[in-house]
């Protein structure tokens, strides 16, 4: 028996409200954050005369950079213009999630899941980031929806569309291929689905990138980037919260760390209970195929990425598993709403949604990224003829000036005065004694040693306050 007409209308209104709030969060204050180092790389590659010259020093496939390249040609390179494209993609994803959640959970539970998805600080963060993650989110949803479509109405054209969706997801991020794995596992574990054709479509989508993988993947995995591994016991326990919330440190700064604990506890509880509910379901009429799909679309990418990191090496970063987020959110909602009595489940889900929304609002209150924008403005104000620029940002040299280039594009004389960091620290390429050095230091583990060397040998005559890991100094060449 379905919901009464009044209940159905209320569910639709709450879903529409969640979508409206979610879109507002994704579109609000798109230029409040400075572009950080990775975003600067995106712009640098997208604007390059030959973007392919940069990919050996990067770690991603090319599709997102080509999308930004076309967008920049139309809309320019202001922070507002750059952030608008992923924000719009994220709004489309939110609308698609409503449809997918309805198929997985039914209208009422889908309305609660939509509230969590709309408020997610991680997804709001990606919507304001000049990177590929908002596009990966959209592509993963398209893969999941295309798969459901072809299972309901099998046909050659539908499987070709699924293969195309997997190809797009893979071309945006290597983890995007895990969306194809998720639908294959769903097809294999739910009776009556054409899992062979689903697998063929998924493999075909990934295989379209074989020439790219052959040409570029060896260089991209050659060790230019530090490996960040987050697969300890605590990291795995925090994984549900990491895939919902991004900037929990903000809550500690504001003295409301209990909100962060609430987010983590409720996310973990919902994920465990949702998974347990799926595992307990018996085969036959009582089995909830949609709930199983939701759990598998979360677990398949997570497990595959973790196994890949153990077998092939490399890092395991849960926050980059965007392909797992739709299933995880649905699974969390499923688990929390299963709490008894019914009002307890609803109260827990509502508390999580409100906490996530509050964190998203706080994220938009001030710049929460490496503030190259402020550093560049201060350098431009204090610049004198004969000064030099030194960057201690500790990324591959081809990307070191990326973010500052974006903000100093109208001051080419400053960019032309940049010193080669390695040669300068080795004493090979130094200007005359007494020359002022404008130093930008990115606070990171790899950068501590060169910064200590500089402080030990140079007089520091000005030191600006740190702004989210970015330090600006003026030093005098000895």
Global pTM reads 0.94
**Percentage of the chain lying above the pLDDT 70 cut:** 96
Point out which residues pair with 95 in neighbouring strands: none
Residue 28 has pLDDT above 90, yes or no: yes
CB atoms within 10 A of CB 284: 7
* Residue 175 in tokens: 């983890």
Q: Residue 193 gets which letter from DSSP?
A: S
465 and 345, same structural domain?
Answer: no
Residue 285 has pLDDT above 50, yes or no: no
341 and 388, same structural domain?
Answer: no
Per residue in 375-407, pLDDT (tens digit) is 999 999 999 999 999 999 988 888 889 999 999
CB atoms within 10 A of CB 81: 16
Distance CA 93, CA 163 (A): 19
468 and 325, same structural domain?
Answer: no
* Residue 421 in tokens: 């960091």
User: What confidence tier does 59 reach under pLDDT thresholds 50, 70, 90?
Assistant: confident
CB atoms within 10 A of CB 52: 12
Q: Would you say 57 and 224 are in contact if contact means Cβ atoms under 8 Å apart? A: yes
The domain tally of the chain equals 2
Q: Residue 51 gets which letter from DSSP?
A: G
Burial of 392 (0-12, 13-18, 19+ CB in 10 A): buried
437 and 305, same structural domain?
Answer: no
358 and 399, same structural domain?
Answer: no
396 and 344, same structural domain?
Answer: no
Distance CA 449, CA 468 (A): 19
Q: Would you say 126 and 320 are in contact if contact means Cβ atoms under 8 Å apart? A: no
391 vs 313: which has the higher pLDDT: 391
345 and 213, same structural domain?
Answer: yes
408 and 264, same structural domain?
Answer: no
Distance CA 132, CA 68 (A): 9
Domain extent, residue 162, equals 5-363
Helices (H), 106-176: 107-119, 121-127, 133-152, 156-172
Distance CA 453, CA 451 (A): 5
Residue 2 has pLDDT above 60, yes or no: no
Residue 301 has pLDDT above 90, yes or no: yes
Q: Would you say 26 and 18 are in contact if contact means Cβ atoms under 8 Å apart? A: no
269 and 392, same structural domain?
Answer: no
419 and 339, same structural domain?
Answer: no
Per residue in 195-234, pLDDT (tens digit) is 999 999 999 999 999 999 999 988 888 765 666 777 788 8
Mean pLDDT to the nearest integer, 436-450: 92
405 and 285, same structural domain?
Answer: no
Point out which residues pair with 388 in neighbouring strands: 437
Residue 4 has pLDDT above 50, yes or no: no
Domain boundary at 346, 363, 380, which?
Answer: 363
Domain boundary at 345, 363, 381, which?
Answer: 363
220 and 198, same structural domain?
Answer: yes
Domain boundary at 331, 363, 395, which?
Answer: 363
């Amino acid at each position: 028996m379905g919901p009464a007409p009044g209940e159905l209308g209320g569910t639709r209104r709450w879903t529409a409200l969640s979508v409206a709030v979610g879109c507002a969060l994704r579109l609000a204050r798109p230029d409040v954050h400075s572009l950080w180092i990775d975003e600067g790389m995106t712009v640098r590659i997208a604007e390059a005369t030959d973007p392919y010259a940069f990919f050996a020093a990067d770690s991603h496939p090319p599709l997102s950079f080509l999308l930004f390249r076309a967008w920049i040609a139309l809309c320019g390179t202001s922070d507002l213009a750059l952030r608008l494209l992923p924000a719009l993609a994220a709004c489309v994803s939110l609308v698609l999630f409503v449809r997918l959640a309805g198929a997985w959970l039914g209208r009422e539970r889908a309305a609660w899941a939509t509230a969590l998805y709309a408020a997610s600080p991680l997804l709001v963060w990606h919507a304001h980031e000049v990177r590929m993650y908002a596009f990966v989110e959209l592509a993963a949803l398209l893969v999941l929806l295309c798969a459901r479509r072809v299972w309901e109405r099998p046909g050659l054209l539908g499987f070709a569309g699924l293969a195309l969706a997997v190809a797009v997801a893979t071309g945006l991020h290597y983890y995007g291929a895990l969306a194809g794995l998720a639908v294959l596992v769903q097809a294999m574990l739910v009776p009556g689905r054409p899992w062979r054709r689903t697998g063929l479509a998924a493999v075909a989508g990934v295989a379209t990138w074989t020439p790219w993988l052959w040409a570029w993947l060896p260089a991209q995995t050659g060790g230019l980037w530090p490996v960040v591994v987050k697969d300890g016991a605590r990291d795995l326990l925090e994984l549900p919260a990491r895939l919902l919330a991004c900037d929990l440190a903000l809550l500690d700064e504001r003295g409301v760390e209990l909100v962060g604990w609430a987010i983590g506890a409720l996310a973990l509880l919902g994920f465990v209970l949702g998974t347990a509910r799926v595992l307990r379901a018996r085969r036959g009429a009582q089995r909830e195929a949609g709930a199983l799909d939701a759990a598998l679309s979360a677990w398949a990418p997570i497990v595959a990425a973790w196994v890949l990191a153990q077998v092939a090496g490399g890092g395991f970063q849960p926050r980059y598993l965007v392909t797992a987020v739709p299933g995880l959110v649905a699974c969390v909602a499923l688990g929390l709403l299963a709490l008894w009595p019914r009002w307890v489940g609803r109260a827990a889900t509502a508390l999580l949604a409100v906490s996530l929304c509050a964190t998203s609002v706080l994220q938009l209150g001030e710049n929460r990224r490496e503030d190259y924008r402020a550093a560049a403005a201060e350098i431009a104000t204090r610049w004198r003829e004969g000064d030099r620029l030194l960057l201690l940002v500790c990324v591959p040299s081809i990307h070191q000036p990326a973010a500052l280039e974006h903000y100093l594009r109208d001051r080419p004389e400053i960019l032309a005065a940049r010193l080669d960091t390695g040669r300068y620290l080795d004493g090979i390429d130094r200007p005359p004694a007494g020359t002022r050095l404008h130093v930008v230091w990115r606070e990171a583990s790899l950068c501590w040693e060169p910064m200590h060397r500089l402080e030990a040998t140079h007089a520091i005559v000005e030191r600006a306050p740190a702004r989210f890991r970015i330090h600006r100094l003026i030093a005098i060449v000895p």
